[in-house]
Amino acid sequence: MDKLFDVSGRTVLVTGASSAGLGRQFALTLAGRGATVVLAARRESALRELAAEIEKAGGKAHAVRIDVTDLGSVKAGVAEAVRLAGPIDGLINNSGTAERVPLLEQTEESWDRVLDTNLKGVWAVGAEVARHMVDQGKGGSIVNIASLLGLRQAPGITAYAVSKAAVVQLTKQMALEWARYGIRVNAIAPGYFETDMNRKFLNSDLGKEMVKRVPMRRTGTHDELVGAMLLLISEAGSYMTGSIISVDGGHAVNAV
């Protein structure tokens, strides 16, 4: 049965892999199961450290600098990933950012920063990798990282929520248009998992009160996202495209 989830011999590009968050966990898991991972983010030093850690453990990894908000950087970075690791079989579209601010105090600069990274970045990297997959003629799998807040609401984080809701719809549009090329596009909508981006909030009084409203009464651990990711990136999900999988401890269905 485990052969269904086999990723050995595949090359997977993981964006947002430089911080102590979900991208790192995805990369470590894929490399540990035999995939060649290409780690992408803006902080090259952190990428090189993670690549060295993976290789020390017997895995295969390459580091490529990509600024997902810059189309030139995306194009050059994907080309470099192919040069280093060969044809790309999968993409974990994970780069993201959030800024907690009341909507009436939202600035144009802050709004643009969040939307450029979380939405434009997912489109830019996804489209560039898809072009590569079409040229290769063998399809592939793209997993976009959405969010619980793309499906539900919370105060003070509107730009993030809007961007992730758009990622949900973008995922479905990509799935519709690219199925003919053998490219599957799905998304994971995580609930609250502690990362560099949200650690301060989760440890605040407001964050602790929010966690009490999760039906499972806790945040998730990073390895609890691994199953959904492996399902979507591997042949276990070969008849899935346009799907949005929530991994949130039941948060999206909590009582009103």
Main-chain dihedrals φ then ψ at residue 50, nearest 5 degrees: -70, -40
CA dist., res. 171 & res. 209, Å (int): 31
Main-chain dihedrals φ then ψ at residue 45, nearest 5 degrees: -65, -45
* pLDDT at residue 1, rounded to an integer: 45
Please pick, among 160, 181, 192, 239, the residue that the annotation labels catalytic.
160
* pLDDT at residue 256, rounded to an integer: 62
Examine the residue annotation and report whether 239 is marked as an active-site residue of this protein. no
Indicate the SS3 state at residue 59.
coil
- For residue 143, the cross-strand partners are 92, 186
- For residue 64, the cross-strand partners are 40
Element (H, E) at 109: helix 108-115
The domain 2-249 having CATH identifier 3.40.50.720: the answer here is yes
pTM for this predicted structure: 0.94
Category of 9 on φ-ψ map: left (φ > 0), alpha (ψ -120 to 50) or beta = left
Is the CB of residue 126 less than 8 Å from the CB of residue 142?
Answer: yes
Domain parsing of the chain, residue ranges:
2-249
CB neighbours of residue 221 within 10 Å:
11
* pLDDT at residue 179, rounded to an integer: 98
| Run means of pLDDT, 10 residues per run, the chain, 256 residues | 86 91 94 98 94 97 97 98 98 95 97 98 98 97 97 94 98 98 98 80 82 85 92 97 95 80
- DSSP classification of residue 220: B
- 169-205 pLDDT, tens digit per residue, is 999 999 999 999 999 999 999 998 877 777 888 888 8
* pLDDT at residue 37, rounded to an integer: 98
Edge-to-edge strand order for the sheet containing 183-190? 60-65, 36-41, 11-15, 90-93, 140-145, 183-190, 244-247
The distance of Cα 69 from the centroid of its chain, to the nearest Å, equals 15
